[in-house]
Structure 1
Amino acid sequence: MRPLALVVLLAALVSHINADCYLHNPRGSNNRLDEANRDRNNGNRMFDSQNNNRGGYNVGSLYYYSGSVLNVEWTNQHSCNGPNNHCEFVMQYMCGDLVRDGSTTSTISDNPANCRDYNCNTDMKYGMHETYNYYLDCKSRKRNKGLFTADRNVNVDSATRTRQNPGGTRRGYECPEERDHYPYWHPSPWKDVAILTNDPTRCVYYEAESENVKSRHYCQVPMPIYNKYTRVRRTGFIPNTKEECELVQWPEANMIKEDENVTIEYGQWLESPSHGLPKPICKQTQYSRDNHLGNTHGGFPLMFNWTIPNDMEHEHCVFRIRYNITSGDYDAWSANSTMNKMKGKNYANMDIASRFGLQPMNADGRGYVFKQNPIVELFDEFPTTPPMSGNDKDFGLRLAINTNQFGRTFQDRSHTFAVRRRPDDIDCKTIHNLNVRGKRGNIVQTYPGVEYDFVPNRLHARDGDCIHFQWTGSNTNPNNNDGQGKAGTDRSNVVMLEPQRYDEGSGVAVPSGNKIGHWGNSYPEHLDDSKISFLGLGKEDLDQLAGLTHFQFRGELSELDDSGTYFDLGPKKVTGIGEYHYLCTRNNNFSNRSQKGKMYVNKQAQTWAQVDWNGAEVRIGDNKATFSRGSRNTPIQVRMEEWTSDACDDVISTLDQPIPGGDSTLNCVAVYPPERLTGPNSTYQIDISTQGATKLASSVDVYSTTGAAGAQWKKLDATVSDGMVSFAATNGAIYVARSARNVPEIAGGVAAAAVVLIAVLGTVIYFCKKPEKWAALRKRAGEKAQYAKRSFQSKV
C-alpha cells in the first residue's frame, strides 16, 4: 500500500461559486426521484452532489445491450482544459442485486430497527447504491490522516469526516472519504470507465492505480470487537495501515488475567483482488468555459462515447460522474497533512508568501495565509488622506474564501438502468443507442437541466449497423412548465422530415437520393407514402417511432398525450447510404425551440478517437493507427475509415492524379483530418490488413495522397508480415495497399490473360448488338463514380 500522504487529492474551487456538474445522458438524478416541483426534495437522499437543488430529471429507467455504444453527455459550470483552473472527470459504474431507485425521497436509515424486517439493505422502499455494510465499514474505519484538511477542524477520526464534510453528514450509504478522493486506497464497489484530465501525463498513474487492475487492502479485526462496539477499542477505529492493523488484539492485554489461558485473536491485513477489468480510458479533457453550463466548441455538448462492457450484464446498474476542480492557487496534487493547520494557529501551514515574493513573517502579518475569509493588506504602508485619528491605515481587502471548498468534488449519478446480453438474432456488428435527453419547460424552467434533444444529436453509423431507439420521460414535471400537450408530461417520437425545399450553405443542393429530409423544415413527411425511405425501416417500424401504434391502440395522439412515457423499438438494422433528418412532432411548436436529429449512414466502416499526449489507438477491425505517448501535445479528434477495394478504386479513378504502379487494391483506409497529426519529430504507425483480399500478391506497395486538387501519390516504406502491412505516417490521408506483381508472375499469367481477352471480346460483341444495354451500364457507372467523388471531397 502506498504512503497515505501521497494519495492524489481531488479538486477545488472558491466557495462563493457553485461549480455544479449535471449528467444528462444517461438520465441524471441529482438525488431526485419523481418530484412534481423544480427543487429536489432531499439533497441527501443517495449521494453528496453539492449541485443546485433544481438539477436532475425525474426517475425513468432504460436498458442497454452489452457491447453497444452509449453517448454520455453532461454539463459543468466551470472551465476545463483552459488557463483558469485544473479539473478532472472520473466516470464509474456499479451493478448489484440491491441497487435501486426506491419509491420515497427519504434517506435510507443507518439503523436497522427503522427498516423493514430489520434489514435496510432489503427495504425496497428506499433508494440505495452502496450497501449498509459498506457504509458501516466506512463509519468504523479510521480516516486517512495523510490528507490535506487546510484549516478545517476534523475532530472525529472516522472516514466519514473529510475536509468537504467535516461534520460527517450522511448521504445514503456513500463513504465521504471515497467520494472526495481518487484513486481510493480501500476496496470500493465502483468500477472505472474513464478519467478525463487536463493533464494527460497523469494518465500513467491513474491507469496503474485503478482498482480495475490493482488490488486493495483492508484490516479485518476480531469479530467480538467489531460486532459489539463497531469500532476498535485500542485505536478508536479500524486501522487503515498494515502496521496498526496487526497490533489489534482481542481480548486486549489489560483484560487478560495472569493465570488465564486464552486464545488471542489479532487483526489481519487482507488483500481484496482487483475488479479484473481493463484499465480505464484516460484522455485529456475537452475545453469548456467558465460560468457556463453549456456546450463546447462548435456548439456540441461535452460528451464521451462509452462502449458498454460485454461482461457487464445485470438488471440493476448505476453510472456516476465526478467533477474535480481546483482554482490553481495551490498544487492540489502535492498537498498533504504537512500543510494542515498547526497548533495555536487559525490558518493552514501553506506557503502563500513565496507566490507573491514576500517573506513568511511579513506575509502572515498582512493576511497572506490560507484560512477562512482572510483580510489581505495589499500594501505594506498606505496612509489615508486625511489621516484617521493620526494613525496610518493599510488598505485591506477581504477575500471570499471557504477553505473546505479548495480541492472540491461535485458529482451526479444516473437513475438505475439494466445491461442485457445482446440477442443472438441481431447480426449487426455495432449497436448505437439513440435516446432523448431533457425535460418539459423552457430554458429557464428546466435549468440547470436542459430542454429536449436527441442523444446523440448527430449519429454516424455504417450501413448494416443497428440503432436502438429508446427513451423515457415523466408525468410529474411542474404543471406550469411550458410545452405542448398535457401539462407536466414528457413525450417524444421520431418522424422523418420533409424533403429539402431550398438550397443551403454554398447554394448547391444535395443530389436526390443521398439526403433524406431537410433540417431547415419543421414539417414531417407523410408516413403513408409508400415511396419514402428512412433508414431502410418498414412502415410498421416508422408508425411505432411516430407514436401511432407502439403499445397504444388509438387514443389522443395528436400531441401524444395517450402514449406512454417510455418507448423502446429495440435494435433495428439500418440500411441505405445517406444523410437522414428527423424530428419530434410534439416538441417542435415554437420558432425558437425544436427537437431534431441527424443521422449519417455510410458505406465505409469508421471510428473516432481523441489523440493527445497520452496517445491512442484508432481501430477498425484488424486495421489500426497507433499513436504513442508523447507524439502529440494538444488533443485532436481523429477519424479512421476502411473502404472496400471497389469503393477505393472508385475514389482513385476520380482523383486528378492516377495511382502509380501496382496491380490491384488489397485494402484502403483513410485517416482524417488531412493535416499533420503528430509533433515535429514524431510519427504514428498504421497497420493495414490484407488477409481478406481476394487478389493475392507476392509483395505489397503502399501509396498515400490527401486527395486535394493536384495532390500527388507518395510511395511509403512498408513492411509485410502475416497479412499485415505496416508503415509510419505523419499526416491524415488516404492510404492504399496495392499488390506489386513481379515479372515471372506476369509471364505465368499470359494464359489467364488470354482467357480474359476472349471474355472481353464476347462482351463487346454482346453490347454492340444491344446498344441500349451499354448506355444503361455507362449511366450507372457514372453515377457511382460521381457519388464516390462527392463523398470523398465532402470529407476532405
Structure 2
Amino acid sequence: MRRLVQFCACMLLLHQVGADLYLHMPRGSNNRLNEATATRANANRVFDSQNNNRGGYNVGDVDKDKSGNNEGNQYRMQYFQSGSATPNVKDKTYLTVEWTNQHGCGGSENTNPQKHNCHMVLQYMCQDDVSSPVGTADTLRNGVSTQTPNHNRAGSLNENKNTAQNRKNNNINTERVLQESWDWYDKCYMRERNKGLFNADQKLKSNNGLGFSSAIYTRQNPNGNRYGYECPEERDHFPYWHPTPRTDVAILTDNTSLCSFFEEGSFNRKAYGECIEEYGDGSRKHWSRWNNRQECTENGGQWVELSSYIEKATQFTSEGQCTSQAAQGNRYVWAVPYDATDVTKKECLVQAPPIDCQQADWSRSNHLGNGINGEANRYQWALPYFPSNKDKRCVFRMRYNISTDDYAPYSTDSSRNLNNGIEGITSPIEDNPYVDVGGRSALRLNINTDQTGRIFQDRSHLFKLLTRPSSIQSDNIFNINVRGKRGNIVQTYPAVEYDFIPNNLQLSESDSVHIQWTGSNSHNNGGGGGDGQAGDEGQGTGGTDRSNIVQIADLNDNFPMPFEKTNMWTNANIRWIYHGKTDVSPENLAVSMASAGYYRCIKKQDCPEAAHNDYIVETKTKMNDLLNNAPASFTGAVLRFKKGTYHYMSTRNNNFSNRSQKSTLTVV
C-alpha cells in the first residue's frame, strides 16, 4: 500500500446513507434536459446524482416555444460578475443558492443532534463564452439530446497519439451535453484507482484489457458505470488528491473542526501533483496510469505540481510581473496550470478566493431536508470576479456527502477491506449481515455497503457570468429569481412549485437588484409519475412555465394595485435593462415587468427606436391574459429602489388556496 495513497484514504475520505439532493436555485437539472415526462429520460446523461428519477428542472426556453433541436433557443441565466474580489468592498453580485437534502445535515450535537456525518460541497466551473451556442469539442453546452456522450475505451496502454485523438473525434457529438471534457473522463479511466481507500466488502472491477482497476471504480460505483464524462473517484471524495477543473465555493459541514483541513486541501490554493508522460513526439499525454510520485518516476514519468486558476493573466509574462499584481483582491501566482500542454512552462494564473467553510445549517431528516421553520436552506454566493472582463459560460455543482457512524469515517482505510487478501481481516460493515442477539435464530440487517457512505449530487444547466457595464460597475447586486416548475405539490415533488427567491429580501438604498427568471415550455410532467403523480396542474397552456411581477398592497392581497396607486416602479432607478434603453418611464417599466418582456413600451413615441418596433402595446398582437404567448424567460433589469417596503406577486401563478407566488422587498 503506497504511503501517499494511505494518507489520502485516512484524511480525505468522506464516505457518504440514503438521501437525495435537489438544487432549486440555480435550477438543478437532476439529469433532465427538456423532457415532457414526470421522470427524467436518462439518469446517466451528465452526472451520477443518486437521486430519485423525478425532480429536477428542464433547461429554460428563450421564448414561448420549445427550444427543440436548437440550443440557441435555450435560455441561459445571465448573472453579472462581481465588480472585484476585494473583501468588504460593496461591488459584489450575490446569488441565493437553495436546495433540499432529504436526510438532513448540520445543527448542534447538543441541541439538534443528527444521526450521521455530513458535508455540502459547492463548486462551479467556467470557461470563456463563445458566440456559438454549441462551440467546439470542449465547449460547455446543454446539448439537445438526452443521450449520454460517447466514450470508446482504449484497448491498450501503448495507444499512440493519433489513435487517442481519433477516439475522441469519433466520440464527440455536439448534440449531447458537455460538462466535463472527454479528456477528463478518459484520464480517469486510464489512471489506477486509489487503493488505500476503504471499500468494505465491495468487489471493485478491473479495466478490461488494461490489467488494473482504475479511478472509474469506487465503493459507490463498483461496476464502473459511466455518467457523462464525470470521474467517479473525484465525485466520491473531497478534497480530491489530483488536479480538477472545478473551483470550490464553499463547504458546509457539521464539524467545523475540519475547516482548516478543507481550506488547506482545496485545489483553489493548494497545488496537486500529477504524473506526466509523453508521446514519442514529446507532446504531453492527457493521461497516465500512475497516481503517485514514486510509481510515476519509477516508470519514466515526471511528477509535476499543477495549480488551479479561474483564468490566465497572459499579459504578465514574468514571475515578477505576475506576483506583484493584487488587482481588486485576486491572487496571482506564477505556476504550471492544471491543463498545461507544456508542463515545463509556468504562466500567470488568477486564482479563486479560499474555500468558504461554514457550519451547515440544521435540516430535518426524512422531510426532504427542510430547515428551521420549514424553510429550505440557503447559501449566499458572492459570484466571482474575472479581471479579463470576458463573459463566461459556467455550470454549478453541489454534492451532499453523508456517512454513517457505524465506523470511523476519517481513520478507516483499505487495511479494513474484506477483500484485500489478508487473512483474518474483517470489514466493520458488510452487506446484509446476520447478527446474533441471543435465541435460536440470528437477525438480518438491511445494509448495503455501497450506500452506508454515500454522495448525492445535483448540477445546474449552463448559465452566463457577464462583465459589468460601467453603469453598474460599483453596485452591490442581489439577484431576484424564480424557482419551481409547473404542477401542484404532488406533481412537482421532489421539485417545488413557483416562488420568488429570495422571497423576503432586505437591502439598502445603495444596493441594486437584478430581476430575472427562466422557465421551460415542456414541463408537462406526463407519463408515469414514478413515486409521485403525473400531470401539470396550473393556469395557462399545459407544460409551460410563466412568471411576471406586479405590485400588491399586502401579502394577503390577491389583486394587483392599479398603476396609479403603485410606488414600486416610480421609486425604481434603472441601472441597466435588457433592451438597453434606460430612459424608461415608470409606467413602461411596470408594463415590461407585468408582461415578462412581451411589451417594452405602451406607445410608439415612448420607444421610437427601430429595435423596439415589435414590442409596443399599441401595435403588437395582444398579450394573452394568462401570459401564454409571453416568453418563458426574462433577462429583466437591474434596479435601485428608494426606501420603502414593496410587495409583489405573479398574476398567473396565484390560486389562493394552493398556490401563491408572492414576495417582499424591503429597502432601508
- For the aligned pair, the TM-score class normalised by the smaller chain equals 0.7 to 0.9
Q: Secondary structure at the match of 2:667?
A: strand
Length-normalised TM-score, structure 1: 0.63
Tell me by how many angstroms 1:408 deviates. 0.5
Residues in 1 aligned to 2:214 and 2:193: alpha-carbon distance in whole angstroms: 5
Tell whether 2:206 aligns with 1:140: no
Length-normalised TM-score, structure 2: 0.74
Partners of 2:144 and 2:176 within 8 A in 1: yes
Please, which of 377, 382, 389 is the counterpart of residue 436 of structure 2? Answer: 377
Letter in 1 for 2:307: P
What is the correspondence of 1:52-71 to structure 2 with a 5 Å cutoff? 52-60=52-60, 61-67=76-82, 68-71=93-96
Tell me by how many angstroms 1:583 deviates. 0.5
Show the counterpart of 2:319: none
Distance 1:441 1:294, change over 3 A: farther
Tell whether 2:569 aligns with 1:569: no
Q: Secondary structure at the match of 1:80?
A: coil
Q: Larger Rg: 1 or 2? A: 1
Residues in 1 aligned to 2:570 and 2:52: alpha-carbon distance in whole angstroms: 41
Partners of 2:202 and 2:419 within 8 A in 1: no
Partners of 2:558 and 2:656 within 8 A in 1: no
Partners of 1:77 and 1:293 within 8 A in 2: yes
Distance 1:295 1:346, change over 3 A: farther
Distance 1:298 1:554, change over 3 A: farther
Residues in 2 aligned to 1:9 and 1:402: alpha-carbon distance in whole angstroms: 18
Distance 1:188 1:372, change over 3 A: same
Percent same amino acid at aligned positions?
Answer: 44
Residues in 2 aligned to 1:44 and 1:521: alpha-carbon distance in whole angstroms: 45
Residues in 2 aligned to 1:78 and 1:90: alpha-carbon distance in whole angstroms: 16
Show the counterpart of 2:143: 102
Partners of 2:203 and 2:419 within 8 A in 1: no
Partners of 1:12 and 1:324 within 8 A in 2: yes
| Deviation string, structure 1 residues 251-286 (Cα, Å, up to 9, x no partner) | xxxxxxxxxxxxxxx211111123322211100000
Please, which of 521, 541, 555 is the counterpart of residue 589 of structure 2? Answer: 541
Partners of 2:278 and 2:284 within 8 A in 1: no
Tell me by how many angstroms 1:9 deviates. 1.6
Tell me by how many angstroms 1:374 deviates. 0.8
Q: Secondary structure at the match of 2:409?
A: coil
Distance 1:85 1:294, change over 3 A: closer
Letter in 1 for 2:289: I
Letter in 1 for 2:56: G
| Deviation string, structure 1 residues 560-598 (Cα, Å, up to 9, x no partner) | 1110011122212222x1221111000002412100011
| Deviation string, structure 1 residues 699-750 (Cα, Å, up to 9, x no partner) | xxxxxxxxxxxxxxxxxxxxxxxxxxxxxxxxxxxxxxxxxxxxxxxxxxxx
Q: Secondary structure at the match of 1:444?
A: helix
Tell whether 2:371 aligns with 1:330: no
Tell whether 2:21 aligns with 1:12: no
Show the counterpart of 2:583: none
Tell me by how many angstroms 1:131 deviates. 0.4
Show the counterpart of 1:673: none
Tell me by how many angstroms 1:183 deviates. 0.3
Distance 1:428 1:171, change over 3 A: same
Q: Secondary structure at the match of 1:196?
A: strand
Tell me by how many angstroms 1:180 deviates. 0.2
Partners of 2:205 and 2:224 within 8 A in 1: no
Moved more, 112-121 or 526-535: 112-121
Partners of 1:96 and 1:317 within 8 A in 2: yes
| Deviation string, structure 1 residues 512-539 (Cα, Å, up to 9, x no partner) | xxxxx21111111112447776643622
Partners of 2:150 and 2:172 within 8 A in 1: no
Tell me by how many angstroms 1:123 deviates. 3.2
Show the counterpart of 1:219: 275
What is the correspondence of 1:135-534 to structure 2 with a 5 Å cutoff? 135-156=185-206, 157-224=213-280, 238-248=289-299, 266-275=300-309, 276-311=351-386, 314-342=391-419, 349-351=426-428, 370-379=429-438, 382=439, 393-394=440-441, 396-426=442-472, 429-478=475-524, 480-497=535-552, 517-529=553-565
Residues in 2 aligned to 1:177 and 1:226: alpha-carbon distance in whole angstroms: 29
Q: Which runs of 5+ in 2 are unaligned?
A: 61-75, 83-92, 107-112, 129-138, 154-162, 207-212, 310-350, 527-534, 574-585, 601-613
Distance 1:224 1:147, change over 3 A: farther
Partners of 1:194 and 1:280 within 8 A in 2: yes
Q: Secondary structure at the match of 1:459?
A: strand
Please, which of 646, 655, 658 is the counterpart of residue 589 of structure 1? Answer: 655
Show the counterpart of 1:86: 117
Partners of 1:527 and 1:543 within 8 A in 2: no
Residues in 2 aligned to 1:560 and 1:310: alpha-carbon distance in whole angstroms: 36
| Deviation string, structure 1 residues 46-98 (Cα, Å, up to 9, x no partner) | 11101011111000220100111000000000011232111100000001351
Partners of 1:109 and 1:115 within 8 A in 2: no
Q: Secondary structure at the match of 1:586?
A: strand
Q: Secondary structure at the match of 1:405?
A: coil
What is the correspondence of 1:548-559 to structure 2 with a 5 Å cutoff? 549-550=599-600, 552=615, 553-559=620-626
Distance 1:222 1:117, change over 3 A: closer
Distance 1:337 1:581, change over 3 A: same
Q: Which runs of 5+ in 1 are unaligned?
A: 232-236, 249-265, 352-369, 383-392, 498-516, 603-796
Tell me by how many angstroms 1:106 deviates. 0.3
Q: Secondary structure at the match of 1:185?
A: coil
Moved more, 588-597 or 211-220: 588-597
Residues in 2 aligned to 1:428 and 1:466: alpha-carbon distance in whole angstroms: 10
Q: Secondary structure at the match of 1:138?
A: helix
Q: Which has the higher contact order (CA 8 A, sep 6+)?
A: 2
Q: Secondary structure at the match of 2:367?
A: coil
Distance 1:593 1:335, change over 3 A: same
Distance 1:413 1:115, change over 3 A: farther
Equivalences, count: 525
Q: Secondary structure at the match of 2:470?
A: coil
Partners of 2:103 and 2:369 within 8 A in 1: no
Show the counterpart of 1:598: 664
Residues in 1 aligned to 2:40 and 2:486: alpha-carbon distance in whole angstroms: 16
Tell me by how many angstroms 1:121 deviates. 7.9
Show the counterpart of 1:263: none
Residues in 2 aligned to 1:117 and 1:83: alpha-carbon distance in whole angstroms: 48
Residues in 1 aligned to 2:228 and 2:370: alpha-carbon distance in whole angstroms: 31
Show the counterpart of 1:123: 173
Partners of 1:475 and 1:488 within 8 A in 2: yes
Distance 1:173 1:211, change over 3 A: same
Tell me by how many angstroms 1:557 deviates. 2.6
Residues in 1 aligned to 2:420 and 2:404: alpha-carbon distance in whole angstroms: 27
RMSD in angstroms over aligned alpha carbons?
Answer: 2.7
Residues in 1 aligned to 2:21 and 2:262: alpha-carbon distance in whole angstroms: 22
Distance 1:459 1:228, change over 3 A: closer
Letter in 1 for 2:431: Q
Tell me by how many angstroms 1:472 deviates. 0.6
Deviating runs (4+, > 4 A) in structure 1? 112-118, 224-231, 342-348, 528-535
Show the counterpart of 1:753: none
Show the counterpart of 1:682: none
Q: Secondary structure at the match of 2:184?
A: helix
